[in-house]
Amino acid sequence: MDSVATAPPPPPAHVAIIMDGNGRWAKLRGLPRIAGHRRGAEAVRRTVQAAAEFGIGYLTLFGFSSENWKRPIGEVDDLMGLLRHYIRAEIAELHARGVRVRIIGERRRLAPDIVTLIDKAEALTGGNGGLRLTLALSYGGRAEIAAAARAIAQAAVQGRLAPEQVDEAVFARHLFTADMPDADLLIRTSGEQRISNFLLWQSAYAELVFTDTLWPDFGKADLEKALRDFHGRDRRYGASVGSR
Distance CA 97, CA 109 (A): 30
- CA 79: distance to chain centroid? 17
Distance CA 57, CA 37 (A): 26
Beta bridge partners of 209: 187
140 near 211, Cβ under 8 Å? no
- In three-state form (DSSP H/G/I as H, E/B as E, the rest C), the secondary structure along 203-230 is CCCCEEEECCCCHHHCCHHHHHHHHHHH
Which 8-state DSSP code applies to residue 217? G
Strands 132-139, 100-104: pairing is parallel
pLDDT of the residue at 1: 47
Distance CA 230, CA 227 (A): 5
Set 2, 20, 77, 222: catalytic member:
20
Domain locations in the chain as residue ranges: 19-231
Confirm whether 22 is a catalytic residue: no
Distance CA 191, CA 208 (A): 12
Q: Is 10 left (phi over 0), alpha (psi -120 to 50) or beta?
A: beta
Distance CA 57, CA 99 (A): 10
pLDDT of the residue at 3: 54
Strands 58-65, 100-104: pairing is unpaired
The CATH superfamily holding the domain 19-231 is Decaprenyl diphosphate synthase-like (3.40.1180.10)
Orientation of helix 112-125 relative to helix 73-96, angle to 10° = 20
Q: How far is CA 163 from CA 22, 48, 152, 156, 160, in A?
A: 45, 41, 9, 7, 10
pLDDT of the residue at 244: 46
Confirm whether 179 is a catalytic residue: no
Q: Which residues of the chain fall short of a pLDDT of 70?
A: 1-6, 235-244
Query: Quick one: CA torsion of 160, 166, 170, 175, rounded to 10 degrees?
Result: 90
